[in-house]
Amino acid sequence: MTTFAGKLLRIDLSSSTSKVEKIPEQYFGDFISARGLAAKYLFDELKPDIDPLGPKNKLILSVGVLAGTGLQGFSKWTVTTKSPLTGTIFRSVVGGNFGAWMKHAGYDLIIIQGSAKNLVTVHVDKSGVHFSSAKEFSGIDPRRLQKLLKEKYGRHTESACIGAAGENLVRYASITSGERTASRGGVGTVMGAKNLKAISINVPVKKHIPFDNPRFQELVKQQISILKDHPRKKNMTTMGTPYITTVLDKMGIIPVKNFQEGSIPGIDKISGKKFYDLKMAKAGCYMCMTRCGGMRNVIEGPFGGTQIDGPEYESIYAFGPLLGITDSAFITDANAFCDFYGLDVISTGVSIAFACELFEKGIISASDTNGLDLTWGNKNAIFSLIELIAKMEGIGALLGQGVKRAAEKLGGAAGSYAMEIKGLELAGYDPRGVKGYGLSMATSNIGGSHMYGRPREELSGIVDPFTETDKGLSIAQVQKEQAIDDSLIACTFGNSGLSYEMYVEYLTAATGIKAFESTDNLFKIGERIVCIERCFNVREGFRRKDDSLPKRMTTEPLRKAGPSTGQMIRNLDKLLDEYYEALGYGKNGVPKPGKLKELGLDGAIKNLS
């Protein structure tokens, strides 16, 4: 008895065939599940240099060993692929119900390979895997499509869908499931390139019996009683992620006007309190009592008159201060507009902010922008830009490639205004005011993600956010921890009051696997996951030069940023040296052979030579 399925479903879109394969038990001990297991498979199965948008790329949907059990906040799932935005390995974490349904269907992983000739949907039920033409669904938004799939296959159907942006190959298209999205890195673009409009599952709910069931049930009860009165949980349930908006403004690290400034007048108009007042109902993921989401009314755009689960902090940042805006209704509407097309809100907002700054600096003019006046805060122009990006028309065809490619195409000084790392547009934290976080973003194996290693102690001021010494070790540690969290999966927002000692207990009672029996082992697994992701990237040609920050971070002191005013990253090299040393990598950013051997990744050495 165990809570993992031990099987994967392999779907080949080129031949419209599928097969079930056994997953070796050792893989769980070495990589846990979800992000870790998917990284192992992607590393083993992808040849270097393949086109992320070609049939040789694979899309791996993966769920955690604890998903579908009574533990709260452990049923999210991940999408792993080679990103068309960064060219690196990528994983995007998503909530909703779909992950639990994968587990109910009997799979820890679904590997989607090849590509269909025409747009298709794939449906999984008790009788097998069914491929259908999706011609009639072309261009349909993901929320409507999910309803149509429920009508077609039954109301308990859970699905993961793309919108028009994925079909049009915008490089940062998302995958939608329920009210949640796997937003980042162009995972929806890969799905679009494979001509897969949706994958759906309708199977009976299955009980997953833990290895030590009585102990596991005690642990579930204990977790529920911890969560009940935990202040962080209460805050997340009431406010959700928007609560952080005013905190970051006060710290001077909320990016304003494409990271030119670090705080904005009128922040109260888009505070956690403001969005709390606009909340119509709670929302959340499968088996999670934190329920950090919130349904809010949409006024304008194709979803006008309906409600969406959002906006989260990152949408508030990307369609608020980043564009010089403090209008809660506009932010909600822009968020809904992106959802309608299946666009990542962060990359969309940063791409628009990039265009606005180029407009401000006179690098582009109305003749380059389909006549749009891209003065900061022009809301109508922003709506038009979202639509142009989703349709890859006019200036949207340039911005839909992401700011890195857009800047390369424009040439000249444009690159100075592209706020990206390894091609991934930055989230809502200015690295100049939280330098360890900056190091984490610079070294992240999926590009400039804020979710690759989150230094909570630095963000809460326990550690000096401005110092540039002694950060390498702690960032290596938080990246290992995030790898464990993403592989269980323990939700970052729903894990209040939990510890790695408790994860050891959960995993051991659930699976009986010896490798999970100590926190030291768990951290070793976290290190292995980060390392295999780095090996993937090294094999693709990534080195130290790619562990970088946008030029602005190392050359321009932060302005109008309260306590962070004047801050910038002065010695990235020193930070990198410390980080590489902490993880046993050489100065070129490549894991040393001894480290690979220690982590049991000797095979990777051969692949890297």
State the residues that interact with ligand SF4 by CB under 6 A: 73, 76, 95, 284-285, 288, 290-293, 491, 493-494
DSSP at 491: P
Of residues 290 and 548, the one with the C-beta less far from ligand SF4: 290
Of residues 73 and 438, the one with the C-beta less far from ligand SF4: 73
**Residue 24: CB atoms within 10 Å:** 10
- Nearest approach in angstroms of CB 491 to ligand SF4 is 3
- Nearest approach in angstroms of CB 10 to ligand SF4 is 28
- Nearest approach in angstroms of CB 245 to ligand SF4 is 17
Taking CA atoms, 54 is separated from 14, 142, 188, 194, in Å, by: 12, 23, 14, 8
- Nearest approach in angstroms of CB 489 to ligand SF4 is 9
Of residues 451 and 576, the one with the C-beta less far from ligand SF4: 451
Residue 160 phi, psi dihedral angles, 5° rounding: -125, 120
For the record, the structure tokens of 159 come out as 């699905």
Of residues 76 and 534, the one with the C-beta less far from ligand SF4: 76
Of residues 134 and 483, the one with the C-beta less far from ligand SF4: 483
- Cα–Cα distance measured from residue 592 to residue 246, given in angstroms and rounded to the nearest whole number: 43
- Nearest approach in angstroms of CB 290 to ligand SF4 is 4
Of residues 142 and 494, the one with the C-beta less far from ligand SF4: 494
Helix, strand, or coil (residue 94): strand
Residue 173 phi, psi dihedral angles, 5° rounding: -75, 150
Angle at CA of residue 344, ends 268 and 317, nearest 5°: 15
- Nearest approach in angstroms of CB 476 to ligand SF4 is 25
Angle at CA of residue 13, ends 8 and 14, nearest 5°: 130
- Nearest approach in angstroms of CB 288 to ligand SF4 is 3
Of residues 308 and 406, the one with the C-beta less far from ligand SF4: 308
- Nearest approach in angstroms of CB 249 to ligand SF4 is 23
In terms of DSSP H, where are the helices of 176-320?
187-193, 213-228, 231-238, 244-251, 272-277, 313-318
Beta bridge partners of 11: 18, 112
- Nearest approach in angstroms of CB 60 to ligand SF4 is 21
Of residues 409 and 456, the one with the C-beta less far from ligand SF4: 456
For the record, the structure tokens of 9 come out as 């479903």
Beta bridge partners of 158: 201
- Nearest approach in angstroms of CB 95 to ligand SF4 is 4
Provide the CA 179 distance to its chain's centre, in angstroms: 15
- Cα–Cα distance measured from residue 234 to residue 224, given in angstroms and rounded to the nearest whole number: 13
For the record, the structure tokens of 210 come out as 């833990």
Helix axes 500-511, 213-228, angle to 10 degrees: 150
- Tell me if 58 sits within 8 A of 113, measured CB to CB: yes
Q: HSE of 402 in the Cβ direction (CA atoms, 13 Å)?
A: 26
Of residues 242 and 301, the one with the C-beta less far from ligand SF4: 242
Of residues 104 and 233, the one with the C-beta less far from ligand SF4: 233
- Nearest approach in angstroms of CB 402 to ligand SF4 is 25
Beta bridge partners of 79: 61, 92
Of residues 73 and 400, the one with the C-beta less far from ligand SF4: 73
The amino acid present at 31, given as its one-letter code, is F
Helix, strand, or coil (residue 106): coil
Dihedral (Cα; 196, 201, 207, 212), 10-degree rounding: 0
- Tell me if 521 sits within 8 A of 32, measured CB to CB: no
